[in-house]
Amino acid sequence: MCRVVDLQQAVLAKNDACAHTLREDLAARGTALVNLLSSPGSGKTALLERDLTLARSRGIPVAALTADLATENDAVRLARSGVPVKQVLTDGLCHLEAEMLGGHLHGWLPADTRLLFIENVGNLVCPASYDLGETLRIVLASVTEGEDKPLKYPTAFGLAHLVVVTKMDIAEAVSFDEKEFRANVERINPGVEVVLTSARGGEGDGLLLDRALAARDGAPVHIPVMTRKSHHVHDAEDGQPCDEGHTHEAGHTHEATHPHNAEHAHAGEHTHAHRGPGGHAHTADPDTVASSRS
């Protein structure tokens, strides 16, 4: 048990060091990263597509990177917005990590990007423990998932800067209890804002974009009570520096290196082995998705 805990702490410490580096690099170029977490089928792709389309119509330089275990479906959908989109296939890994993300952004992210939206792998367990260098972390839950999800997934909801409810157009049909949901969120993350949206009905259009722009421009961001100690700046416990590919244009050519052979515990919830060399990267445009290895 001690070895599992020690390994978990070392992996998270390494990730936090990389996240800190990535956050500084992005800030230096004027880019804010927005990390979107949700269960599969929550509607985050539909909501994000609408906001990316709105950003393009307003002339706001944005980009999106979406991660999945398989398929390029989400990248193809998001590319319809006309903004730069990249698909990362994680080869079975159930979350993104800061080092991996930095490698995929290097050489791809347009220099003038103001907002970078990350659509994390769809689940509320694995991604919750990993800081990606985000300015804003948004957790989404659909009305079909039930009012108790904040209690079942306290790490995901407890570390959120903003909670978004999706598919409000069918809330009445599925007997969604908004008051109970809000109360459960408040128990886990006191003071966090909860907003209601519907990609189909238009409720909350532009909300993600507006909140992200405000955070990027220095508006106060909610500080979760549960914010873990590892979110603070510190060196990796294994003594290894972060060596992901930097996102700024400073001539860095580092390749992402990731300890994929190490078994890895997620916030004490479960352990699994990493696979693959950081996942495949796929860059999407509105007409095609071109594939290449990272």
Label residue 141 exposed, middle or buried (CB < 10 Å: 0-12, 13-18, 19+): buried
Question: Bridge partners of 38?
Answer: 140
What is the identity of the amino acid at 241? P
pLDDT tens, the chain, 294 aa long: 566 667 778 888 999 999 999 999 999 999 999 999 999 999 999 999 999 999 999 999 999 999 999 999 999 999 999 999 999 999 888 999 999 999 999 999 999 999 999 999 999 999 999 999 999 999 999 999 999 999 999 999 999 999 999 999 999 999 999 999 999 999 999 999 999 999 999 999 999 999 999 999 999 999 999 985 444 434 434 445 676 555 544 333 333 333 333 333 444 444 343 443 355 666 665 443 433 333
> What pLDDT does residue 6 have?
72
Counting DSSP H helices and E strands in the chain, the numbers are 8, 11
Query: Which domains does the chain show, CATH number per domain?
Result: 4-226 (3.40.50.300)
> What pLDDT does residue 256 have?
34
CA proximity to 115, closest of 140, 90, 83: 83
Q: What is the DSSP letter of 168?
A: G
Phi, psi dihedrals of residue 105, rounded to the nearest 5°:
-75, -30
CA dist 243 and 227 (Å) reads 25
Label residue 218 exposed, middle or buried (CB < 10 Å: 0-12, 13-18, 19+): exposed
> What pLDDT does residue 245 have?
54
> What pLDDT does residue 78 have?
98
SS3 content of the chain, % helix, strand, coil (to 5): 35, 20, 45
Contact of 137 with 161, CB cutoff 8 Å: yes
> What pLDDT does residue 274 have?
41
